[in-house]
């Protein structure tokens, strides 16, 4: 990827001397900041901005590593061919008119791709805005130069965006209004070749980049993405567009991409330590915070001291901590003793430190300095949230406040309202010392949460070289898959699960009502009786299930009525009745973006309403499986409730590991559905299972 | 309240000629905008700002309707006494040092209150910032004049705030950075006399006020508040501080107020049509939107056309509609035919209308005008969300766009990023035409949601003069309440519920195991057997419940074992076993701020995790009860699921109406708990009930 970020010589195909055109902007932007060789290419001009303009790439007298292309789509293939002859390493195709426009464009895109492969060229784009390297003032993009003119602030946030807007207007917006700093912004367009994973891998190794924010409409290689995110210490924030049903439709027409199911994407990204964003500016705010503040050391818990001039703002700040990875710090008596003297006697010091009366008594300088210093020195305080009101001018040495926090090694967050321009001045000063400044309390809380959530042990890392535990799957198992694929016979399916030592309900097939009674006598009452008719997955809806049969007579009666209902083709299944007040479900799905994924969720009648499910890519280690269980909202139910014993989490984890191994070993397995998975006396029991195979494979 | 908002003559006690002091600011602010008589009072000066200064209120030669007090707390009582002699109608006490400072302050506050009552004076405050009337430039407050200087924008938003910050710095912030306009901002401090309800009642009748935003830490009179909100057409947005456990503690120390339970407050405010906010600026943004856009007429459903220059922003806008009261409009073929000509042929028009290719082909003016006009004319479009990128200057006649929307009578929302100052210009132009401008998409979606949520029929209004249906409660019922109070005998409690025709499980008391078997034979198997030992509410935990007894032998055995466990004091209760897969709970509580409230919630093992409960103040009409049921997140379960029949909502409503009537009629009833309330074959059955009486009352 170095050819894109650090080329020696750059050619611009489609350069033009006409201001306002994209081909002009590219040359202008490059000339402004790039220190290597610049070679405009356009057969219609001999010179552009004082530089020689060449008729084609072939005519350039020096070697070229990077070519930027901004010509009509139809001409792009011949440009790529020329690049191939020239030995170019990378091409950024900024022209539009490819897959995003329909079938013809898709064919053109394929043609470009095959030429590039042939010549060993990496292609970035097409239909993209290219690369804006703010830190090095190196802009390989057609964006209007005016966009970056008003303010360019270098910082630690890099972005990978599947949207042109984010690499132009949005940058301007965030730098101007929020004084936020960026490193590299990469607009990836149609991702024909270079994709988010390639760029993420580069940026995670880039010393200028401390945090990566991504706006993505589809995930080209979900597995690689999560592996990259898992292995890095740098925060990755992702806004995934197209998650709603309608949004996904819009995404399809926009970049010809399919969006994965929301729950799967969310769960899996979260598991990989990715912070998920909901909106553009919110993503930028989180990135900015994490770029300014180094990850706190492991001991820190998010105990926050709030220094405020407004009781109301202190209360709302406190309310906003609830449900997040932080809480009000308990100030030590030492700290209180240090602060009390600046307060009037009648005002007891607590947290939030509501220092308005102190400012009136002791003046702002003494109050701010004393309170901040005291809470920073308190070992029970991990971070400080400072509220500031900004009048017509700054009358405090704010950099000394920021330095105090820097020295103490504790994150300082600032919420500031009042004079808009003064807030920008304050933000500039504070940014130099790693202090983010916010205008909304809720956003402040969200960003603090992002910082402290990273510290929680919820993210087991797969170390390099580490593999999942040895699979328990016997290799000959696939012999039991019927060649035709489709829904497996349920009894057969459960037999497979039993071979993996999964706790499947005890059961017996019976050919007649008499045999059913015999089987029930052997299993012990109460029993469940099911009619198995081929291809009917939903037995309950079909009326083929009889629950809670307590005597031989009840079994006999029910068996006759099922036999009548099914006719000749059905068989009778007698199961021990599993009782338990907690129903879960578990399963395996094959996701388009992440491959085989294991699911666990809350079952029973509330399953659909709660939507409490968690996904993880297979295979899973035992630790992965336990962490997955922890991610259920309702996981506290597993600790026992109303006299129920706690559920055996390791037995549950075993089931999940098996599911993952099955999905990982056998491509033919399309879906497994264990539902319900009943917790009975603390032990999980698979009461029903469906196994679905790819049709036409075995 | 007219004396506060429209006084003829105002006296300022504590006036001073020293700039920077509060007593100076008050006089300065009043002189700047108030057109009535101004009378500074301070025994130390003869003249302030060219006006005669009087030694005391008694010495003023003219009648005074409003006095503003800014002197040390200890002197306030004598000022009030003087005001009483003078016949003053209202006093705004801006001094601090009262209940918020502890016991001595509370005593002082009571003293002031009793003096005021004696003289028939209304007191606003103490410990408040007073009144800032932006619309009329009438500032009765000690806030620094500089705060309002940079920009004063009159608008339709009035605020009632239990916090000084919001009436000073925050106003400045919202007017400067967001160009938002305000009407009247009232800082109410300790609410000794004038409270949020008094001010809300005034503002809801104030022609300048279109929306009221409130920041409140406690609710003085919850009943009156919700009645005011229910009866008005003006939107009321409330940020309730102190909702978290910690926040409530902070609230207590801040304004000596108790916060009510979060679920109760939330549910009840929502039922009254209040929009609940989470943060200050978010509250202001919602208020601003609702003040700019008149409530759409009833037919409108929130079908939104999105016009964007960025596919990514269109996708995220669409994602953000999910779960809100709006959705993407389906554009008619007419509309598409109108728009298509400005687009290049290869680009099909959909919604979001991604008009970047059109801008390149047809120029911005033609594209914006054509697209906007077309979607405004589409009868399937209720509102338009317009995305704008603001470069270095505005090169569009944006007011003509806004006028087009005004003319069509459809709300237009604008999300604009780019050049910060240009956004402010745009906001000023758009504000004049009722178009709110946002910087974040998610906030845009939230504010659109607030507008369209108001249109949903979820809010049955109690019309003036309308009463709840006639209570079904027999008056002699209270004779059955034991004098001692406390937990009622459960059998007795259920007998009371039966008298109200509530569907309580069939049951029988039995003195011996033999009688229990007889009772079971009569009720029909299976039965539940319970041991009733006095004062044990939680029978399950105590092991005194035997479920699912199917034969006389099982009953006999269980009865003996319960009798053994309880000893002589217990009795046996035989109940028909109610079976059903859906468990609810319902109840009555007596809330500090809202009085008797009826609750319905999801029951069973998930109750605690889901927290799906809804509250309404008693009494309830049948329609109220149905609306309350609708508010359960899980209410769709009542429509039937997996073969279960739909629940009888009117039977459920009857139970809730009875609970409300009971709470309303009998002060002695502290709490009623119907749990579980099982839906069995569609009919709700009270399977267990606890009634708790106030101790020492009957």
Q: What pLDDT was estimated at residue A534? A: 64
Q: Which residue in B605, B586, B577 sits closest to B680, CA to CA?
A: B577
Structural domain range at position B92: 1-127
Alpha carbon distances (Å) from B33 to A687, B64, B94, B291: 77, 18, 19, 24
Q: What pLDDT was estimated at residue A696? A: 63
Distance (Å) from the alpha carbon of A397 to chain B's nearest alpha carbon: 20
Question: Which chain A residue has its CA at the smallest distance from B392's CA?
Answer: A146
Instruction: Give contacts of B168 with chain A, Cβ < 8 Å.
Output: 389
Question: Which chain B residue has its CA at the smallest distance from A147's CA?
Answer: B391
For residue B389, count other CB atoms closer than 10 A to its CB.
24
- How far apart CA A441 and CA A449 sit, in angstroms, is 12
Claim to verify: residue A636 and residue A675 sit in the same structural domain = yes
* A472, part of any domain: no
Cβ atoms of A206 and A597 within 8 Å: the answer is no
Peptide bond into B17 cis (omega under 30): no
CB-based burial label for B80 (10 Å; 0-12, 13-18, 19+): buried
Tokens of A42: 């356009």
Cβ atoms of B310 and B387 within 8 Å: the answer is yes
CB-based burial label for B498 (10 Å; 0-12, 13-18, 19+): middle
* A473, part of any domain: no
Q: Which of A215, A316, A326, A424 would best serve as a mutation to test chain B binding (most B beta carbons within 10 A)? A: A316
Q: Which residue in A671, A392, A373, A371 sits closest to A537, CA to CA?
A: A671
Question: Which chain B residue has its CA at the smallest distance from A539's CA?
Answer: B642
Q: What pLDDT was estimated at residue B287? A: 97
What confidence tier does B534 reach under pLDDT thresholds 50, 70, 90?
A: low
Question: Which chain A residue has its CA at the smallest distance from B352's CA?
Answer: A250
- How far apart CA B213 and CA B201 sit, in angstroms, is 13
Claim to verify: residue A527 and residue A394 sit in the same structural domain = no
Q: What is the ipTM of this complex?
A: 0.89
What confidence tier does B255 reach under pLDDT thresholds 50, 70, 90?
A: very low
CB-based burial label for A431 (10 Å; 0-12, 13-18, 19+): buried
| Dihedral sign computed on CA atoms, order B624, B630, B635, B641 | positive
Max alpha carbon distance in chain B (Å)? 100
HSE toward the beta carbon, residue B503, CA cutoff 13 A: 19
Q: Which residue in B114, B106, B42 sits closest to B80, CA to CA?
A: B114
In degrees, rounded to 5, the angle at the alpha carbon of residue A407 between the alpha carbons of residues A402 and A411 is 60
Kindly state whether B107 is in contact with chain A, defined as any CB-CB distance less than 8 angstroms.
no
**What HEC string does A620-639 produce?**
CCHHHHHHHHHCCHHHHHHH
pLDDT for B21-35, tens place per residue? 999 999 999 999 899
User: Which of residues B83, B106, B127 is at a domain's end?
Assistant: B127
- Which of B:306-325 have CB within 8 Å of A? 309-316, 318-322
Q: Tell me if B609 and A350 make a contact (CB, 8 A cut-off).
A: no
Instruction: Give contacts of A172 with chain B, Cβ < 8 Å.
Output: 417-419
Distance (Å) from the alpha carbon of A444 to chain B's nearest alpha carbon: 11
HSE toward the beta carbon, residue A561, CA cutoff 13 A: 12
Q: What pLDDT was estimated at residue B459? A: 39
User: Which of residues B577, B604, B635 is at a domain's end?
Assistant: B577
For residue A441, count other CB atoms closer than 10 A to its CB.
23
Instruction: Give contacts of B633 with chain A, Cβ < 8 Å.
Output: 609
Q: Tell me if A253 and B440 make a contact (CB, 8 A cut-off).
A: no
Residue ranges of alpha helices (H) inside B205-244 are 222-231
Q: Tell me if A250 and B390 make a contact (CB, 8 A cut-off).
A: no
Claim to verify: residue A265 and residue A121 sit in the same structural domain = yes
Q: What pLDDT was estimated at residue A603? A: 84
User: Which of residues B101, B127, B153 is at a domain's end?
Assistant: B127
Output the domain CATH number for residue A162: 3.40.50.261
Cβ atoms of A249 and B408 within 8 Å: the answer is no
Beta bridge partners of A328: A304
Claim to verify: residue A25 and residue A115 sit in the same structural domain = yes
Q: What pLDDT was estimated at residue A469? A: 55
Chain A to chain B Cβ contacts (< 8 Å): 258
Query: Which helix (H) or strand (E) segment is B281 a member of?
Result: helix B280-292
Q: Which residue in A215, A217, A189, A220 sits closest to A98, CA to CA?
A: A189
Strands A138-140 and A130-133: antiparallel
CB-based burial label for B207 (10 Å; 0-12, 13-18, 19+): exposed
Q: At what angle do helices A364-377 and A398-408 cross, to 10 degrees?
A: 10
Residue B313: phi and psi, rounded to 5, are -65, -35
Question: Which chain B residue has its CA at the smallest distance from A163's CA?
Answer: B312
Kindly state whether A173 is in contact with chain B, defined as any CB-CB distance less than 8 angstroms.
yes
- Which of B:535-594 have CB within 8 Å of A? 540-541, 550, 581-582
Kindly state whether A101 is in contact with chain B, defined as any CB-CB distance less than 8 angstroms.
yes
* A461, part of any domain: no
Provide the number of structural domains found in chain B: 5
Output the domain CATH number for residue B527: 3.30.1490.20
- How far apart CA A243 and CA A260 sit, in angstroms, is 8
- How far apart CA B559 and CA B220 sit, in angstroms, is 52
In chain A (698 residues long), the average pLDDT of successive 10-residue segments reads 95 95 95 94 96 96 96 96 96 92 91 96 94 92 82 92 82 90 94 96 97 93 92 94 69 44 79 92 97 76 93 93 92 96 89 89 91 96 94 78 92 93 93 96 96 62 44 74 78 87 91 92 92 63 76 90 80 89 89 87 76 86 90 84 82 93 88 91 91 72
- How far apart CA A23 and CA A142 sit, in angstroms, is 7
* A513, part of any domain: yes
pLDDT for B368-381, tens place per residue? 999 999 999 999 99
Tokens of B493: 């409690």
Q: What pLDDT was estimated at residue B254? A: 43
Q: Which of B249, B315, B389 would best serve as a mutation to test chain A binding (most A beta carbons within 10 A)? A: B315
In this predicted structure, the answer to whether residue B539 has a pLDDT above a threshold of 50 is: yes
- How far apart CA A352 and CA B339 sit, in angstroms, is 56
Claim to verify: residue A319 and residue A237 sit in the same structural domain = no
Beta bridge partners of B307: B353, B386
Claim to verify: residue A441 and residue A526 sit in the same structural domain = no
Cβ atoms of A106 and A256 within 8 Å: the answer is yes
In this predicted structure, the answer to whether residue B461 has a pLDDT above a threshold of 60 is: no
Claim to verify: residue B431 and residue B549 sit in the same structural domain = no
Q: What pLDDT was estimated at residue B593? A: 82
What confidence tier does B571 reach under pLDDT thresholds 50, 70, 90?
A: confident
* Mean pLDDT, rounded, of chain B: 87
pLDDT for B113-142, tens place per residue? 999 999 999 999 899 999 999 988 899 999
In degrees, rounded to 5, the angle at the alpha carbon of residue B466 between the alpha carbons of residues B465 and B467 is 115
B278 vs A172, A242, A442: nearest CB? A442
Claim to verify: residue A81 and residue A197 sit in the same structural domain = yes
* A601, part of any domain: yes
- Which of B:326-385 have CB within 8 Å of A? 327-328, 346-348, 350, 352, 354, 356-357
Question: Which chain B residue has its CA at the smallest distance from A392's CA?
Answer: B146
Output the domain CATH number for residue A619: 3.30.470.20
Claim to verify: residue A391 and residue A251 sit in the same structural domain = no
Alpha carbon distances (Å) from B509 to B39, B506, B560, B574: 79, 11, 15, 6
Claim to verify: residue B441 and residue B299 sit in the same structural domain = yes
DSSP A258: P
For residue A267, count other CB atoms closer than 10 A to its CB.
21
* B500, part of any domain: no
Looking at residues B417-434, what average pLDDT do you find? 93
Question: Which chain A residue has its CA at the smallest distance from B349's CA?
Answer: A253
Claim to verify: residue A309 and residue A404 sit in the same structural domain = yes
pTM: 0.90
* A482, part of any domain: no
End-to-end CA, chain B: 41
In this predicted structure, the answer to whether residue B189 has a pLDDT above a threshold of 50 is: yes
Peptide bond into A339 cis (omega under 30): no
Question: Which chain B residue has its CA at the smallest distance from A321's CA?
Answer: B244
Which residues, including other chains, have CB under 8 Å from residue A463's CB and lie 6 or more apart?
A: none
A165 vs B104, B147, B313: nearest CB? B313
Claim to verify: residue A197 and residue A55 sit in the same structural domain = yes
Cβ atoms of B531 and B562 within 8 Å: the answer is yes
pLDDT for B579-609, tens place per residue? 887 889 999 988 878 888 999 988 877 666 7
* B474, part of any domain: no
HSE toward the beta carbon, residue B49, CA cutoff 13 A: 21
Q: Tell me if A242 and B319 make a contact (CB, 8 A cut-off).
A: yes
More reliable by pLDDT, A168 or B578: B578
- Which of A:9-68 have CB within 8 Å of B? none
């Amino acid at each position: 990827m170095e050819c894109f970020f650090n080329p020696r010589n750059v050619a611009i195909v489609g350069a033009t001397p006409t201001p306002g055109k994209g081909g002009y902007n590219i040359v202008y932007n490059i000339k402004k900041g790039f220190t290597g060789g610049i070679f405009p290419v356009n057969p219609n001009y001999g010179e552009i901005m004082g530089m020689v303009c060449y008729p084609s790439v072939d005519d350039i007298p020096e070697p070229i590593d990077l070519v930027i292309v901004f010509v009509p789509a139809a001409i792009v293939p011949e440009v790529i061919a020329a690049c191939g002859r020239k030995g170019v390493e990378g091409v950024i195709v900024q022209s539009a008119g490819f897959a995003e426009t329909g079938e013809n464009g898709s064919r053109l895109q394929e043609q470009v791709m095959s030429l590039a492969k042939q010549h060993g060229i990496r292609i970035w784009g097409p239909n993209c805005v290219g690369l804006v390297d703010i830190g090095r003032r190196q802009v390989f993009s057609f964006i209007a130069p005016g966009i970056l003119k008003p303010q360019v602030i270098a910082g630690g946030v890099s972005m990978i965006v599947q949207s042109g807007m984010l690499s132009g207007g949005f940058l301007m917006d965030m730098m101007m209004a929020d004084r936020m700093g960026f490193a590299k912004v990469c607009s990836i367009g149609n991702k024909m070749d270079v994709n988010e994973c390639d760029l993420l891998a580069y940026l995670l190794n880039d010393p200028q980049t401390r945090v990566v924010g991504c706006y993505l409409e589809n995930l080209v290689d979900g597995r690689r993405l999560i592996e990259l995110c898992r292995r890095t210490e740098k925060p990755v924030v992702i806004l995934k567009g197209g998650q709603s049903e309608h949004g996904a439709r819009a995404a399809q027409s926009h970049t010809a991409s399919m969006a994965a199911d929301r729950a799967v994407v969310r769960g899996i990204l979260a598991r990989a330590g990715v912070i998920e964003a909901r909106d553009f500016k919110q993503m930028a705010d989180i990135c900015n915070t994490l770029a300014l503040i180094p990850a706190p050391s492991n001991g820190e818990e998010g105990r926050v001291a709030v220094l405020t001039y407004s009781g109301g703002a202190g209360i709302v700040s406190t309310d906003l901590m609830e449900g997040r990875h932080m809480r009000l710090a308990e100030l030590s008596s030492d700290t209180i003793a240090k602060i009390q003297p600046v307060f009037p006697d009648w005002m007891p010091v607590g947290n939030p430190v509501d220092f308005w009366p102190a400012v009136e008594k002791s003046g702002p300088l003494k109050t701010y300095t004393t309170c901040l210093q005291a809470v920073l020195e308190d070992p029970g305080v991990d971070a400080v949230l400072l509220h500031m009101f900004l009048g017509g001018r700054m009358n405090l040495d704010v950099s000394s406040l920021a330095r105090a926090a820097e020295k103490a090694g504790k994150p300082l967050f600032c919420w500031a309202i009042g004079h808009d321009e003064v807030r920008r001045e304050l933000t500039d000063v504070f940014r130099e010392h790693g202090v983010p400044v916010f205008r909304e309390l809720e956003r402040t809380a969200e960003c603090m949460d992002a910082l402290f959530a990273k510290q929680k042990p919820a993210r087991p890392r797969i170390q390099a070289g580490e593999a999942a535990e040895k699979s328990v799957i016997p290799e000959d198992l696939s012999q039991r898959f019927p060649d035709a694929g489709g829904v497996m016979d349920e009894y057969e399916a459960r037999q497979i699960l039993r071979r993996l030592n999964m706790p499947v309900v005890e059961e017996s097939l019976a050919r007649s009502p008499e045999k059913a009674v015999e089987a029930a006598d052997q299993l012990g009452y109460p029993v469940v009786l099911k009619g198995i008719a081929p291809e009917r997955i939903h037995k309950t809806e079909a009326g083929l299930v009889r629950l809670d049969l307590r005597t031989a007579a009840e079994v006999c009666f029910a068996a006759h009525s099922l036999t009548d209902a099914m006719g000749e083709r059905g068989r009778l299944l007698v199961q021990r009745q599993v009782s338990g007040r907690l129903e879960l479900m578990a399963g395996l799905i094959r996701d388009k973006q992440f491959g085989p994924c294991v699911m666990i969720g809350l079952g029973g009648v509330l399953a659909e309403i709660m939507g409490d499910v968690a996904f993880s890519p297979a295979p899973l280690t035992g630790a992965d499986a336990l962490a997955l269980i922890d991610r259920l909202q309702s996981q506290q139910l597993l600790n026992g409730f109303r006299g129920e014993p706690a559920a055996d989490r390791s037995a549950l984890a075993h089931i999940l590991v098996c599911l993952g191994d099955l999905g990982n070993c056998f491509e033919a397995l399309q879906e497994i559905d264990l539902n319900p998975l009943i917790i009975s006396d603390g032990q999980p029991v698979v009461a029903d299972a469906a196994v679905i195979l790819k049709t036409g494979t075995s």
